Structure 1
Amino acid sequence: MPRLPDLNPATMSPEQREICEETLAGPRSSLPAPLKAWLFRPELARRGQSLGAYARYGTSLPAELSELVILVTARHWMSEYEWHAHEREALRAGIAPEIVDAIETDDTPDFTDKKSACVFALSKELYASRGLAEESYRRGIATLGRDGMIDLVAIAGYYSFVAMTLNVFDIGVPEGAVRPFAKLRNTNEGA
């Protein structure tokens, strides 16, 4: 059960309503789930949704690489809502279902292209070691370029912020939706 009440549009402050309108006027067709928490701090909501619009729609990475970083992030944080929202976006962006399934179960997918394999490896290393070894950094620069590396870190950082918000304030998958990470939960429950 969510830890924060839903804000009622009729009782929102003018600033909260303005942020909702700004968000919907951008590339998003709905209010992102973490905004449910951020709106209690309107300036955070304004800046968070602006950074989110960049991380989702404005980076130098194509959608399939961005969504790959987001899936690795959702899996790292075990953020059910983030996974739920981005699994279909990843498939729509062209990531093969078997790659999505492998990430969900924390396996290493078999990638057919160098950039996806690099993005996956960099993202996993970033979360495992809180940085990148020099060799990994150089491989990332050679594969993605400077802008791509900066954007990879921005996407990972932003979606970590999102995942923590969703997890801490218990913003889970919509009622009736399939919860991700079922295989992992079933394994841990049987242990």
Structure 2
Amino acid sequence: MSHAADRGKGPVSRQSIESKIEYCLICHGTSGQGFRGYYTMPRLAGQQPQYIENQLHAFKEGRRLNPIMQNVVTGISPGMIQPLAEYLRSLNAAPHGGGPTEGAGLGKRIFEVGLPDANIPACAVCHGPDARGTRQIPRLAGQLYWYVTKTLTNFSRERGQRGEDSSGIMAPVARNLSPAQISAVAAYVSSLR
């Protein structure tokens, strides 16, 4: 297999894909369950393949800002993206949990019915009643509490920076959530399987 193939000019070798999967799992956990450390890495196990593909392209194109991932995606050829996404979806790691249980009731209510007075729709409208997402809408079930908290808190700085970024729809929702509400939603979705 030539190096040109791994750069996207032909089929990608199974060995190249397996090597890249191993590389991804160094940070995202051996089962794709995510990792809480100095940098919290999201759970990729069971994630929607189209969502993963879209996010990798967003990092490559600078539509999603994260210096670690923007560096990592330079080593991912176009031909690797779909097989990586499909593999990650096949993983079924148990939820990491770790969120405060006292806020999960409020989180469930926000997830299921939203906060109409604050112009916050139910999360379930887009992410599905079981929080597993669909196509380009991410799975939230089992996502790390700390990652969801960080993502919602920093959404406007890290995502939706350009008009063509479909994740920008979340920016006003995230801005309208209080820190306690963000914690509650994160606690609820992190407990789901």
TM-score calculated relative to the size of structure 2: 0.27
